Amino acid sequence: MRKIWPHRPLGLLLPLLLAGGWELAVAFGWSNGRLLPPPSRLLGSLASLAERGDLWDHILATVARVAAGFGLGVLTGTLMGALTGVSPLARRLIDPMLQAVRNVPSIAWVPLFILWFGIFETSKVLLIAIGVFFPIYLSLSDAILGVDRKLVEVGRMFRFGRLRMVRRILLPATLPAYVTSLRAGLGLGWMFVVAAEVMGASEGLGFLLVDGQMTGAPSVILASIVCFAILGKASDSLLALATDPLLRWQDGFKTMT
């Protein structure tokens, strides 16, 4: 756990202070806590959902969708980013269209995906994959184009083929930017899953958010947001831990802090 969150006591300080301050504000009557319930009510809502078993069903459904969409987005984003980064022809043909599509809001895809794929899991996973795809594609393509020309010239001097050039020079040089793009894509995956679960979902934290809105239960809404925050932070920490060995060769400012 120290590797996942090396400064966790300090990182927990601010959330605990804010939660404790709001709990005291409601307890002393400075606020009625109707629209912004105190932490005790949020915990009560989470406990009630957990006792019924609903909370774990919603969490598992959302995690499964994010995992599937993240995997698909990483695969396609990596392939397309590498292709447009290495091949000038592919970059001229494909990149303008992708850059235009990148600016389409996520919610704009919802009615089209419902029309094409229905309200089942396919449409939800594809919407999440779109959110994951673009930061990975853009970062990898730009990172390849930004590789030091001298490194490429050294590879050509040693008569590296294209595959060997990618494996020995381009991949190591772009790895820091690629790892950062993975974390950015994962964060967008958690954001896009809310839009995905609006598409006729019957379970998931996004569905729980909408259900809390429809039933006028702000404690359920905030409990869902807290679950999103915890799951997003946990998954980002695990991804950072998994990719940390790939970047141990770096001798940057991080090693001094």
- In which domain, by residue range, is 91 found? 52-246
Kindly tell me if the per-residue pLDDT of 62 is higher than 90: yes
* Residue 7: inside a domain: no
* Residue 15: inside a domain: no
* Residue 238: inside a domain: yes
Nearest to 130 by CA among 209, 187, 76, 183: 76
Going from the C-alpha of 248 to that of each of 1, 32, 140, 190, 252, the distances in angstroms are: 19, 51, 20, 28, 10
- For residue 35, the tally of other CB atoms under 10 A from its CB is 8
* Residue 144: inside a domain: yes
The structure's pTM equals 0.84
* Residue 189: inside a domain: yes
Tell me the pLDDT band of 4, cut-offs 50, 70 and 90.
very low
**How does pLDDT run across 128-161, given as a tens digit for each residue?**
999 999 999 999 999 888 888 888 888 888 888 7
* Residue 97: inside a domain: yes
**CATH number of residue 147's parent domain:** 1.10.3720.10
The structure tokens listed for 112 are 């089209």
Type of residue found at 222: L
* Residue 35: inside a domain: no
Please state the domain count of the chain.
1
**How does pLDDT run across 205-251, given as a tens digit for each residue?**
888 888 888 887 888 888 888 899 999 999 998 998 888 887 776 66
